[in-house]
Structure 1
Amino acid sequence: MSLPPAPGSPCPARRLVLDPLVGDIEGEHARLRAAGPLAAVELPGGVPAWAVTRQAEARALLTDPRLVKDIGAWHAWRRGEIPADWPLIGLANHGRSMFTVDGDDHRRLRAPVQQALNSRRVAGMRARITELTRELLDALPDDGRPVDLKTAFALPLPMTVVSELMGVGPGRRAGFRALFDTFLSTRTAPAEVGANQAELTAVMRSLADARRDRPGSDLTSTLVATRESDDPFTDEEIVSTLQLMIGSGYETTVCLLVNAVVNLSAHPDQLALVRSGAVGWDAVVEETLRYSAPNSNFLIRFATEDVPVGERVLPRGDALVVSYGAIGRDERRHGPAAGDFDITRSPNRHISFGHGPHVCVGAALARLEGRVALAALYGRYPELTLAVPAERLSHRPTVTQNALSELPVLLGPATP
């Protein structure tokens, strides 16, 4: 599918095609930055959009009321040019949740989730995260052969944490992973898009129904209980919020953990700094978030008016992507050494968890998981190394995530 430019929209001489197979993620991010603060891009499926690539401009756009989440403001959608089976449609039109609305509706739908993930409650989860981390480390093989650390450690930790937060039993979790992998993949065939979304909806509705009959102390029960309040969630809002929380609640943290290990393996001087105690694990987490943003391209907002960005204009009715992968190494914000992985960087004011009203509600939890997991991992396996050269690591086919397919490592001897 290749769409014509919207009537009245500028026709860029060349759109940067975002590679659906993610063959050269760093090169793509560099090309986006070189194209200026507002780059014309083509999303998988030939869908035209714009990408903001610099931090100052991104901060301004993420708080600009002329940019909205309502897909009805997207002219190409209203003209029928974006098919319902577009593989990425679920990231723009998956139902009513805090992800897809603005203003008072956004604040209403965000409130119970934000309360469940406030700083006090997140701090109270440290002991459980520490326990889960230790159990996963204890289960790692000690036969000296390569281990896929993503599958064995980086994925099950946040999956278990978010599942327990939401009240999802162990029997459902493997199925969730498969559904969300299909949801995010650019390789999902159009014929599978609708069926996958229907199954996700059915599974989330089943989870909500189970908590309606047998409420607990989890967030799903809290969402369901709003039905009896003065400002109730609709069934659609509950289902969409569950999908948003479970999917985003583990995927970002998986990428954070995997990318941190890759970065430390490629920069042994930085690993030595943190292992010596000269720098804390919080600095490793923040520099990984900046240098290798887990969300490489965040879909999607729509302009309700023409919005000037640098020397270009984001036209009314067009779609905007926030390219956090490009923004993280913006030299205008982080200086000429923006391309260096440097855990001593100070200040390190990145926006990889977003900015403005839609800033990631689970950022504090992801940071805590990262600090606890990385400290325990390298405390147990101080000689951990990659089992293959870094250039042989491959990315999953998703333009939205900076996500490796696997992470083969050699653990080395364990400390007592």
Structure 2
Amino acid sequence: MATATQDTPGRCPYRLDGSAADIHGEATALRAVGPAARVELPGGVPAWSVTDPGLVRRLLVHPRISKDAHRHWPAFLDGDFPPDWPLRIWVDIRTVQTAYGPDHSRLRHPLVPTFASRRVRALAPWLEETTGALLDDLAVAAAAAPDGVVDLRRHFAEQLPWRTVTALLGLPENMQHGFQGINDTVFMTNLTAEQVAANTAEAERLLGALIALKTERPGDDVSSALVQAHHEGRLTERELADSLWMMMGAGYGTTANLLDHAVVNLLTHPAQLDLAMAGRVGWDQVVEETLRHQAPVANFMMRFPTEDLYDEATGLTFLRGDAIVINYAAAGRDLEVHGADADLFDITRATTREHVAFSYGRTYCLGAELARLEGRIALKALFSRFPTLELAVEADCLVPLPSLIFNGHQEVPVRLEGTPDQ
């Protein structure tokens, strides 16, 4: 639960828990404060946490809201926070996710063709084949385990998006293990400064090797397209490396979290799983309710007003240079939008699709359609192949990822049970 830094209960700013032990407990406390609340991020950095979905949408499309700390965050420019701030990577990085104005369009442009609807839909047969192979591997892993318990997250929920993103990037097999290991830690918000520095150095080494390879031997992949954009002067060297890094993290962990939570929610709501298995509710609806109920990105770091902004609907004023965190986890469970039972998982919910889990407006996630496609294919195949799948522990024993940013579990131990359908 979020805790106030002052002695008076309910006062702000709230000091957010870097280990993210209770993201939704914090979200409930912050929503009680109002549409946005003053918080303290790990490292003692002050910010706003925006929880109201209407305000979220207005800020995401406002022309005077920047994502570029290098231009519009005075605290960053003046060095008014610890040099070893554990979240520094999220403002240091130079990608479409941190760009403002014309830079946003310039950095987005090389990525757009990869996520065109026609090209995404064409991936469906490959995704189905890859999913089938992963389910074979899952069965082998379960059979080899003495107690029949296998970690569904590690063996399935993470593997499908990782194989997808590495295929899109054209990532050589000998680099995949190293990149995946770094990606598994980069979103953690409880690391020491030394751990962050070591991870950053290793990421830079791996990225340098990838860029050198794609420069010498380009292919029909996103990495080569970004390298070409750099050679044509459309991306700086820093933007090239950071864009590659962003693609891996955004395409991998977010979808892994989606699959993770969808499986856990369905296994703990068997009547709803029955509806999906019987075809009475589509798998697309399961995906959307999961996105609403358990936003894969809980909090997005950060945005900054380029001038003082007054929001008439809420009466709030955000001062120029204030750090703003978009709290997607809280916005997805807004009581006014989703009703008094917003905390409950319900795939028949009429407002299921009214979420902002993929952002909104010009910053809407390029990979949203691909993530949805992966979710539909993976969930349908998983429960068709293993209809008696069950959690091997009580759901409240699952340990969350230590991340304010990524919303998932460290492990999802399951038993496949029964005889898999062939």
Q: Which residue of the other structure, out of 101, 104, 108, is the alignment partner of 1:103?
A: 101
Match of 2:181 in 1: 178
CA contact (8 A) 1:39 1:51 kept: yes
Match of 1:14 in 2: 12
Q: Secondary structure at the match of 2:179?
A: helix
State the 4+ residue runs in structure 1 displaced beyond 4 angstroms.
Answer: none
Q: Secondary structure at the match of 2:46?
A: strand
CA contact (8 A) 1:204 1:239 kept: yes
1:195 lines up with 2:201 in the alignment: no
Q: Secondary structure at the match of 1:99?
A: helix
Match of 2:260 in 1: 258
Match of 1:165 in 2: 168
Match of 2:339 in 1: 335
User: Structure 1 residues 74-83 or 237-246, which shifts more?
Assistant: 74-83
Structure 2: how far apart are the matches of 1:403 and 1:86?
Answer: 23
Match of 2:328 in 1: 324
Structure 1: how far apart are the matches of 2:300 and 2:345?
Answer: 22
Structure 2: how far apart are the matches of 1:288 and 1:26?
Answer: 14
Please report how far the alpha carbon of residue 48 of structure 1 lies from its aligned counterpart in structure 2 after TM superposition.
Answer: 0.9
1:128 lines up with 2:136 in the alignment: no
Q: How does 1:11-50 map to 2 (within 5 A)?
A: 13-50=11-48
Match of 1:290 in 2: 292
Match of 1:76 in 2: 75
The C-alpha deviation readout for 1:80-138, integer Å capped at 9, x for no partner, is: 122332111111111x2211212221111111211111101110111111111101101
Structure 2: how far apart are the matches of 1:325 and 1:401?
Answer: 10
Structure 1: how far apart are the matches of 2:21 and 2:241?
Answer: 34
Match of 1:274 in 2: 276
Which amino acid letter does the alignment assign opposite residue 214 of structure 1? R
Q: Which residue of the other structure, out of 404, 408, 421, is the alignment partner of 1:415?
A: 421
Which amino acid letter does the alignment assign opposite residue 295 of structure 2? A
Q: Which residue of the other structure, out of 373, 376, 385, is the alignment partner of 2:378?
A: 373
Structure 1: how far apart are the matches of 2:181 and 2:326?
Answer: 26
Q: Secondary structure at the match of 1:51?
A: strand
Match of 2:61 in 1: 63
TM-score by length of 1: 0.93
Q: Secondary structure at the match of 1:147?
A: strand
Which amino acid letter does the alignment assign opposite residue 357 of structure 2? S
Structure 1: how far apart are the matches of 2:176 and 2:379?
Answer: 23
Please report how far the alpha carbon of residue 339 of structure 1 lies from its aligned counterpart in structure 2 after TM superposition.
Answer: 2.1
Which amino acid letter does the alignment assign opposite residue 304 of structure 1? T
CA contact (8 A) 1:87 1:185 kept: no
Q: Secondary structure at the match of 2:38?
A: strand
CA contact (8 A) 2:162 2:252 kept: yes
Please report how far the alpha carbon of residue 13 of structure 1 lies from its aligned counterpart in structure 2 after TM superposition.
Answer: 4.3
Which amino acid letter does the alignment assign opposite residue 160 of structure 1? R
CA contact (8 A) 1:56 1:333 kept: no
The C-alpha deviation readout for 1:173-201, integer Å capped at 9, x for no partner, is: 22112212332112221123233223212
Structure 2: how far apart are the matches of 1:220 and 1:24?
Answer: 37
Structure 1: how far apart are the matches of 2:367 and 2:113?
Answer: 11
1:390 lines up with 2:395 in the alignment: yes
Q: Secondary structure at the match of 2:97?
A: coil
RMSD: 1.7
Which amino acid letter does the alignment assign opposite residue 267 of structure 1? H
CA contact (8 A) 2:37 2:49 kept: yes
Which amino acid letter does the alignment assign opposite residue 58 of structure 2? A
Match of 1:9 in 2: none
Structure 1: how far apart are the matches of 2:231 and 2:214?
Answer: 14
The count of residues paired between Structure 1 and Structure 2 equals 404
Structure 2: how far apart are the matches of 1:403 and 1:360?
Answer: 19
1:225 lines up with 2:228 in the alignment: yes
Structure 1: how far apart are the matches of 2:150 and 2:100?
Answer: 44
The C-alpha deviation readout for 1:352-386, integer Å capped at 9, x for no partner, is: 00012111111111111111100000000111111
Distance 1:13 1:344, change over 3 A: closer
Structure 1: how far apart are the matches of 2:30 and 2:175?
Answer: 39
Please report how far the alpha carbon of residue 346 of structure 1 lies from its aligned counterpart in structure 2 after TM superposition.
Answer: 2.7
Match of 2:357 in 1: 352
Please report how far the alpha carbon of residue 228 of structure 1 lies from its aligned counterpart in structure 2 after TM superposition.
Answer: 4.9
1:363 lines up with 2:368 in the alignment: yes
Q: Percent identity?
A: 44
CA contact (8 A) 1:87 1:186 kept: yes
Structure 2: how far apart are the matches of 1:192 and 1:151?
Answer: 22
CA contact (8 A) 2:161 2:252 kept: yes
Which amino acid letter does the alignment assign opposite residue 126 of structure 1? A
CA contact (8 A) 2:257 2:407 kept: yes
CA contact (8 A) 1:88 1:183 kept: no
Q: Secondary structure at the match of 1:299?
A: strand
Structure 1: how far apart are the matches of 2:408 and 2:215?
Answer: 35
Structure 2 regions of 5+ residues with no counterpart? Answer: none
Which amino acid letter does the alignment assign opposite residue 74 of structure 1? W
Which amino acid letter does the alignment assign opposite residue 192 of structure 2? A
Structure 1: how far apart are the matches of 2:129 and 2:109?
Answer: 29
TM-score by length of 2: 0.92
The C-alpha deviation readout for 1:318-339, integer Å capped at 9, x for no partner, is: 1000000000001122223322
Match of 1:89 in 2: 88
Match of 1:155 in 2: 158
User: Structure 1 residues 351-360 or 308-317, which shifts more?
Assistant: 308-317
CA contact (8 A) 2:43 2:82 kept: no
Please report how far the alpha carbon of residue 393 of structure 1 lies from its aligned counterpart in structure 2 after TM superposition.
Answer: 0.5
Which amino acid letter does the alignment assign opposite residue 239 of structure 2? E
Match of 1:243 in 2: 245
Which amino acid letter does the alignment assign opposite residue 217 of structure 1? D
Which amino acid letter does the alignment assign opposite residue 108 of structure 2? R
